[in-house]
Structure formats: structure tokens, C-alpha cells
A = this chain, B = another copy of it.
Amino acid sequence: MALNFPIKRTTPKKIINKANLGMDLEGIINESNEYYLNNDIAVIHKKPTPVQIVKVDYPMRSKAVITEAYYKTPSTTDYNGIYRGKYIDFEAKENHNKTAFPLANIHPHQIEHLKAITKHGGIGFLIMSWSKFDEYYLVPLNLVLRYWDDAILNDGRKSIPYEAIKKEAYPIKEGYLPRLNYLKVVDEIYFKE
């Protein structure tokens, strides 16, 4: 039927897919958070990129220009906020490999941070994208820690295999509004009755 009305081919579905091309994990999560915020579901923000500012110019009649600055290693995770009265904290990681997620992609202090958060009663996890398969997963901290500790304490493998993610992490389906409804998965894992 659509063939008779070529204009109809531009369905919302198609627009989304086109818009998604080139949108990275951060962009997709930011959009989802905006949806959550506008619909009063949760208040979750990305923290600004930490920058060490060295030189600032104040040109006359215009705003301050930072002319020398350096990227700093973040001391926490990228995202935090509140959902259903609980403190939520996570790191977003893109993975372009096919077989495993290298643990070197996570900073040790991010692991320490997530451990501290969990200890104090918060919810901590990773959101991982597997670009080769167009898949997204919520990876609970425990799963990460198992591989992390094994790598450090037992000189074990330095990555999390795709099969472990497939088997033990929670898939997040890509959708329309929000793009990545990861809080639905949070519901299932952390708020189940």
C-alpha cells in the first residue's frame, strides 16, 4: 500500500533510523535522559567533561575565551541522578570489538566509585553498546567486578567475553521515545517485587 503513496515512506521509524546514523551512545543516552526529564520520570544528567583550564583571555566587550586547557581523567562516572527515589550512577561505554569488551576501557577509579555508590545504597552499572551488532546492554556492576577482580587478583583475562554479556547482562532495546529505555531494564533488575 505504501507504494501508492511514496510520501508515506518517510515514516517516523525511518526518520529515527536515519537520525541514529552516526549518533553515538552518549547522544542516544542524552536524548533518553531528556525524555525522562521532560516527562517527569527521572532526573539524570551527563556530567561535563572535566577540563583543566590553564589560560583564559578576556577580550574587550566579549566573553571570556579559554585559550589553553587540557582534558583531565574523570574521577567518577559520566552519568548520575535520581529515579524512583533512588540514586542512580552509571558509565556509558562503546565497544567496537566483536568478541570481547577490553577492561582497559574502564578507569580503576570509576570501578571504585561504582563500588562506593553501591555500598551507600545507590544503583550502579554500565551501559555498553556493541556497535558491530547494534546491541545495547545494561551490565550490572557485579558482572564487571567478577572479571575486573579476576584480572587483577588472579592475572585472569583482561576483557569480558561477548558470550558472558549475552548470557548475563540485560539487553536494552532501541526504540522511539525514549531512544534507549534503560530505566525499563533498571525497573526489572533493581525494582522487581
Contact = CB atoms under 8 A, between A and B. Distances in A.
A121 interface: yes
B66 A69 contact: yes
A59 to B, nearest CB: 12
A22 interface: no
Contacts of A119: 40
A151 B122 CA distance: 37
A69 B71 contact: no
18 contacts: A40-B116, A43-B113, A45-B76, A47-B47, A48-B48, A51-B69, A64-B71, A65-B70, A66-B69, A66-B70, A66-B71, A82-B87, A82-B117, A82-B122, A84-B120, A86-B121, A87-B87, A87-B122
Number of copies: 2
B75 A45 contact: yes
Interface in A41-85: 42-43, 45, 47-51, 53, 63-72, 74-76, 80-85
A178 B55 CA distance: 32
Interface of A: 37, 40, 42-43, 45, 47-51, 53, 63-72, 74-76, 80-87, 89, 113, 116-117, 119-122
A50 B122 CA distance: 25
Contact of A85 (B37, B51, B75, B121): B121
Nearest to A89: B82
A70 B51 CA distance: 12
Given A53-B51, A82-B121, A68 B71 contact: no
A46 to B, nearest CB: 10
Contacts of A85: 87, 120-122
